[in-house]
Amino acid sequence: MLIKLNPPSIMLKTGSMFASFAALALLGMAFTAQAQTKASFDRLLEAVVRIDVRETSFAGGTTRLVSGVGSGVILSKDGLVLTNAHVVSPRAVDIWVTLANLERVRAELLGWDHWTDLALLQLDMGGVKERRLAFSVARFGNSDSLKPGQTVFAVGTPHGLSRTVTKGIISNKERYYHDPSGIRGYETGFFNTWLQTDAAINPGNSGGPLVNEAGRVVGINTRTYLGADNLGFAIPEKTARRVMQSLAERGEVERSYIGLSPGFLQDLESFYSLDVNQGMLINSVDPGSPAALAGIRASDIALSIDGRKLDGRFPEQIPPIRNLIASYPVGTTLTIEVKRGQQVIPFSVETERLESRVGDEWAFEKWGLTVREVSRSFARELQLSSEDGVVVIGTQSAFPAEKAGLRRGDVISKVNEAALVGLDDLKAIYESYDAASEPDPLLMETLRNRTVSFKVIKP
Amino acid sequence: MTNRTPLFLLLVCVQAAFGWTGAAASIGELFAERTRSVVVVEFFVETEVDRNPISVNGIVINDEGVVQLPASAVPSWVPIDQLREFKVHRLGDSKGKDATYLGSDRRHGWHYVQADESLWGDLKPVTDYPLATLATGQSLWGVGVATKDLDFIPYFMRAEVSTIQKLPETIGFATSEITSPGSVLFTDDGAFAGWGSGSLNMERFLTIEGRSYQAFLRKPDQTTSFYVASELVESIGNVPVSPEVNDMTWLGVVGLQTIDDEVAELMGLDSQAAISISQIIKGSPAEKAGLQERDVVLAVDGVPLPRYTPRRVVVADFEQQIADKEIGEEMRLAISRGGESIELAVTLEQTPKLVRDARKKYLESIGLTVREFVVYDNVALKLDLELDEVPGVIVNFVKPNSDAHTGGALTGDLVKEIDGVPVESFDQALSLLEALERDASKREFVMLVARGAETSVLRIALN
């Protein structure tokens, strides 16, 4: 072993002056590059922040404040901080950002996109200027040019610890992963693949940057596999940069929806007698969606959208196709060419605005009841006959709603024989109940897995 | 004392009739004789790849060795042809004798098994004994049944009547465990007092290594509750003509819910018991008679629904009333619909094919069992179809690591298309699948299945 590590000096024996010079020159260049890299990396470190959030939760039949901690990265001179949607949500009541110099600054939420798990904050620049605080600004790198095996660093404040750097490599640059209710019930991961890294990512790292050796941001650290070692996931720069721009401009990312659930063809090309590298299997079509109304059916093969050929053979290829559909302006009429049996049929599908399955939430404090509006996609998921009504998300012990027998998951469809269209109807009923000194009991009709029950709310 | 006299006289008469030696047989003698009325029935449920053994106590109900078992002895969805190798054991005897399954009673779901003729002489029907009239605090004794490794030996148990409740069957509760589920209990003078039902869950707090857990514990071999004999004997012995017969009546309503007191008050129903109907199956007698979803049932054949404690027991009472009718018989229902009172007459029909009776076929080389679509599936899958609509076939079983399993098939999937051909009937689906199995050149096929609100295209590679 020792001999191998310290070989007899062959270099000296065969070496020439030239070789020595060349080696020295190379060494010098490397030093310069290293110095640059170090400066750039230091600048990145100064741009990573800790984020403390307090937000409203409607989970337990009343409004409560919950607090959390995450990481973020400053990406503009005017104080834009990119973080995860699961770190800061629209329910945030106050947001504090701890800069690299340990000074704390207030921030507010500019935009939120649970689909890619990204949120954009604006630092209170008035406060920053007044207190003459300084921070540096990180720069995006390029996630497309990453190579598996390349060294990367995760920077953040895991478990609220001060700035922590962990080192790893890119394990996979196109990990496919989506979760229909991953962010407190909100969908995530449908429109992007993920960077996978073995750099240690812990709770509190969320929202911090994944950077290359030059300190350029190539991803936003988001999640890890629980129960696994070193399987961390980051949103690639390519997605983050685009979403950040949209959040800065509009506060949201508007996407188109047509109601197709893609499957992957993997080895089925010959079965469907398809040209190699073309086609996307349609696994499911949401009932009542634009695609369903146009006549597209499950087990059809989509060949192209507006003339763009689709290649959906492997799971990794699905998010880009979903993203292609989503990126058309809402209301666009798409021509989808579909193969059904031996026929190729063009369908015209007008896109709708993509909505989340999670509706608005509210607390009715005197009833000890928290509810969420039934969204179109939630109604579809539960096979409800309509999207009217609200769903119970929490009740408080010994309060009227709990005493009446309402439970999490019950859909309140009627109050006093009148159909409840949405949350606003229930708010109006609550207001008059709240205003009365001796309110009349209310008769609520609820649905639970198609079973109708009646419940009485009284003081 | 006055009301004891007739019972005493009855007892003397019965004893005289059976030629007992003394007026007051000892408990020991009574015990020895009455253990001959209890047997242990063993059988197994055979599935595609497994055998699940079942052992259950039952009571002898006649001189021809017919044994009545609790409803829970056989899960309701298990087809009769999957019940195998019935054996009857006398208590204290590990050697079982062959027995035949006779079917189940449509009203209570009791199952019947007939012991081999060679055993008949050793058994004693419970109907031979006088019936007890029970009073709170009365002392009773029961026959406990030991486990198989102890040769099912009978053992003596004693407790007192704690309370008696209508649920809607009359159920007695003892102060402590008094018999084994499916075994019997008696009064001190030997009168038949009850038949052990399943034991109740008891809430307990467990502390394990300093951590506290809330747990519900239930003894599998001993119980405190029992069917009261005086009522039970009325329903004993409704043995069907054959196990396959389906004489169950059908109304066609789903999701029956008790209207609780506060809701009843708000609806102006006074102290009336009432049941709301969540769903009406299309094409059912209920739909034909004009029943609607959210109708509230107040009375059957002019008799208001009785009030029980707990209130929800009224649902079982109503279901019992449906079961007690004959196919084609009329049932008059008093309904409240949006505050309006309506009277409707429903003609009950035969229950549509049950899951248990649905046709099915195990395709061994693919590794899945397909089953005929029945009304139950229509409800469970929330499809709201007409009675005769067939949207596909049901995957009833997927063999682990088979081609079907590898391809992603799941038990409960509704198969809508096979290789692009829409499924229209069980026979057609079966012939498609059997053709696939036979075709050696076929390397893979595709099934479109529905799961909840979504569908999935499964590719099944044939190896």
pLDDT tens-place string over residues B88-101: 999 999 899 999 99
pLDDT at A20: 54
B35/A442 Cα distance (integer angstroms):
57
3-state secondary structure of A67: strand
Is A281 in Cβ contact with B276 (below 8 Å)? Answer: no
Per-residue pLDDT of chain A (459 residues; tens, 9 = 90+): 333 333 333 333 334 445 555 555 555 666 677 777 888 899 999 999 999 999 999 988 999 999 999 999 999 999 999 999 999 999 999 999 999 999 999 999 999 999 999 999 999 999 999 999 999 999 999 999 999 999 999 999 988 777 899 999 999 999 888 888 888 889 999 999 999 999 999 888 999 999 999 999 999 999 888 777 889 999 999 999 999 999 999 999 999 999 999 988 877 777 777 777 789 999 999 998 999 999 999 999 999 999 999 999 899 999 999 999 999 999 999 999 999 988 999 999 999 999 999 999 999 999 999 999 999 999 988 888 889 999 999 999 999 999 999 999 999 999 998 899 999 999 999 999 999 999 999 999 999 988 999 999 998
Q: Is residue B304 part of a domain?
A: yes
pLDDT at B33: 94
Q: Is the CB of B262 inside 8 Å of chain A's CB atoms?
A: yes
**Same domain, residue pair A327 and A433:** no
**Same domain, residue pair B130 and B60:** yes
**Same domain, residue pair B343 and B263:** yes
Count the Cβ atoms, other than its own, within 10 Å of residue B234.
7
Q: Which of B330, B350, B370 is the last residue of a domain?
A: B350
Residue to mutate among A314, A454, A457, with most B CBs inside 10 A, is A454
Q: Which amino acid is at A111?
A: G
**Same domain, residue pair A318 and A362:** no
**Same domain, residue pair A317 and A409:** no
Nearest to A375 by CA among A332, A407, A422, A309: A422
pLDDT at B396: 96
Out of B259, B279, B294, closest to residue A450 by CB:
B279
**Same domain, residue pair A287 and A433:** no
Is residue A159 annotated as a catalytic residue, yes or no?
no
**What domain range includes position A379?**
358-457
CB A236 within 8 A of CB A219: yes
**Same domain, residue pair A248 and A268:** no
State the SS3 of A426-439: HHHHHHHHHHCCCC
Whether residue B310 has a cis bond before it, omega within 30° of 0: yes
Q: Which residues contact B114 (CB under 8 A, 6 or more apart)?
A: B64, B65, B66, B67, B99, B100, B102
3-state secondary structure of A25: helix
Block residue for tokens 């973020």? A72
pLDDT at B272: 80
The strand pair at B393-398 and B368-371 is best described as antiparallel
Is A341 in Cβ contact with B257 (below 8 Å)? Answer: no
Out of A283, A381, A452, closest to residue B457 by CB:
A283
Chain B residues touching A298 at Cβ < 8 A: 448, 455-457
pLDDT at B54: 95
Q: Is residue B1 part of a domain?
A: no
**Same domain, residue pair A267 and A292:** yes
Using only the alpha carbons of chain A, give its radius of gyration. Answer: 27
Q: Which of A254, A287, A322 is the last residue of a domain?
A: A254
CA-to-CA separations, B11 to A96, B101, B129, B184, in angstroms, rounded: 87, 34, 9, 19
**What domain range includes position B128?**
26-245
Which region holds residue A18: left if phi is over 0, alpha if psi is between -120 and 50, else beta? Answer: alpha
pLDDT at A268: 74
CATH code at position B75:
2.40.10.120
Q: Which residues contact A456 (CB under 8 A, 6 or more apart)?
A: A404, A441, A442, A443, A444, B260, B262, B263, B265, B266
**Same domain, residue pair B100 and B168:** yes
Sign of CA dihedral B333, B337, B339, B344: negative
Count the Cβ atoms, other than its own, within 10 Å of residue A446.
23
Question: CA-nearest residue of chain B to A267?
Answer: B459
Q: Which residues contact B463 (CB under 8 A, 6 or more apart)?
A: B403
Q: Is residue B5 part of a domain?
A: no
**Same domain, residue pair A340 and A199:** no
Q: Is residue A24 part of a domain?
A: no
Mean pLDDT to the nearest integer, B304-320: 94
**Same domain, residue pair A123 and A234:** yes
> How does DSSP assign B387-404, residue by residue?
TT----EEEEEE-TTSHH
**Same domain, residue pair B336 and B383:** no
pLDDT band at B22 (very low <50, low <70, confident <90, very high): very low
pLDDT band at B25 (very low <50, low <70, confident <90, very high): confident
**Same domain, residue pair B64 and B156:** yes
pLDDT at B89: 97
How is residue B289 written in tokens?
Answer: 């008679």
Q: Is residue A23 part of a domain?
A: no
pLDDT tens-place string over residues B57-108: 999 999 999 999 999 999 888 999 999 999 999 999 989 999 999 999 988 8
Q: Which helix (H) or strand (E) holds B450?
A: strand B444-451
A324/A302 Cα distance (integer angstroms):
13
Among A294-303, B34-43, B125-134, B235-244, the least confident range = B235-244
Q: Is the pLDDT of residue B413 over 50?
A: yes
Which comes out higher in pLDDT, residue B385 or A269?
Answer: B385
- B78 DSSP 8-state letter: S
Out of A281, A298, A452, closest to residue B257 by CB:
A452
**Same domain, residue pair B261 and B319:** yes
Chain B residues touching A271 at Cβ < 8 A: 444, 446, 459
Q: Is residue A15 part of a domain?
A: no
pLDDT band at B10 (very low <50, low <70, confident <90, very high): very low
Is residue A311 annotated as a catalytic residue, yes or no?
no
pLDDT tens-place string over residues B245-285: 888 999 999 999 999 888 988 888 877 899 999 999 999 99
Q: Is the pLDDT of residue B382 over 80?
A: yes
Which region holds residue A199: left if phi is over 0, alpha if psi is between -120 and 50, else beta? Answer: beta
A375/A332 Cα distance (integer angstroms):
23
Selected catalytic residue, list A52, A71, A89, A117 = A117
Out of A284, A441, A453, closest to residue B455 by CB:
A284
Q: Is the CB of B459 inside 8 Å of chain A's CB atoms?
A: yes
Q: Is residue A10 part of a domain?
A: no
Question: CA-nearest residue of chain A to B258?
Answer: A453
- B356 DSSP 8-state letter: G
State the SS3 of B281-319: CCCCHHHHCCCCCCCEEEEECCEECCCCCCCCHHHHHHH
Q: Which helix (H) or strand (E) holds A320?
A: helix A318-326
pLDDT at B430: 97
Q: Which of A219, A254, A289 is the last residue of a domain?
A: A254
Q: Which of B201, B225, B245 is the last residue of a domain?
A: B245
Predicted TM-score (pTM) of this structure: 0.86
Q: Is the pLDDT of residue B414 over 70?
A: yes
Q: Which of B350, B372, B388 is the last residue of a domain?
A: B350
The burial of B458, by beta-carbon neighbours within 10 Å (0-12 exposed, 13-18 middle, 19 or more buried), is given as buried
Q: Is residue A427 part of a domain?
A: yes
Q: Is residue A235 part of a domain?
A: yes
Nearest to A379 by CA among A287, A307, A317: A287
CB A184 within 8 A of CB A86: yes
Nearest to A165 by CA among A209, A112, A226: A209
How is residue B62 written in tokens?
Answer: 């006649």
Q: Domain tally for chain A?
A: 3
Q: Is the CB of A287 inside 8 Å of chain B's CB atoms?
A: yes
The burial of A421, by beta-carbon neighbours within 10 Å (0-12 exposed, 13-18 middle, 19 or more buried), is given as middle
Phi and psi at residue B365, in whole multiples of 5°? -75, -25
Mean pLDDT over the full length of chain B = 92
**Same domain, residue pair A238 and A89:** yes
A187/A90 Cα distance (integer angstroms):
15
CB B43 within 8 A of CB B87: yes
Q: How many CA atoms lie within 13 A of A38 on its CB side?
A: 6
Q: Domain tally for chain B?
A: 3
Question: CA-nearest residue of chain B to A280?
Answer: B457
**Same domain, residue pair B152 and B172:** yes
Calculate ∠ Cα A134-A137-A142, nearest 5°. Answer: 170
Is B279 in Cβ contact with A453 (below 8 Å)? Answer: no
**Same domain, residue pair B326 and B454:** no
Q: Is the CB of A285 inside 8 Å of chain B's CB atoms?
A: yes
CB A204 within 8 A of CB A87: no
Q: Which of A330, A353, A376 is the last residue of a domain?
A: A353
- A162 DSSP 8-state letter: S
**Same domain, residue pair A114 and A192:** yes
Q: Is residue B9 part of a domain?
A: no
Which region holds residue B432: left if phi is over 0, alpha if psi is between -120 and 50, else beta? Answer: alpha
**Same domain, residue pair B305 and B371:** no
3-state secondary structure of B237: coil
Q: Is residue B48 part of a domain?
A: yes
**Same domain, residue pair A212 and A317:** no
**Same domain, residue pair B221 and B126:** yes
**Same domain, residue pair B261 and B299:** yes
A449/A384 Cα distance (integer angstroms):
9
Q: Is the pLDDT of residue B172 over 60?
A: yes
**Same domain, residue pair A112 and A200:** yes
Selected catalytic residue, list A89, A206, A246, A413 = A206
**Same domain, residue pair B363 and B392:** yes
Nearest to B124 by CA among B173, B190, B188: B190
pLDDT band at B5 (very low <50, low <70, confident <90, very high): very low
Is B262 in Cβ contact with A298 (below 8 Å)? Answer: no
Which region holds residue A416: left if phi is over 0, alpha if psi is between -120 and 50, else beta? Answer: left
Is residue A178 annotated as a catalytic residue, yes or no?
no
CATH code at position A296:
2.30.42.10
CB B295 within 8 A of CB B277: yes
> How does DSSP assign A364-415, residue by residue?
EGGGTEEEEEEPHHHHHHTT-S-S-SEEEEEE-TTSHHHHHT--TT-EEEEE
Out of A266, A271, A441, closest to residue B266 by CB:
A441
CATH code at position B368:
2.30.42.10
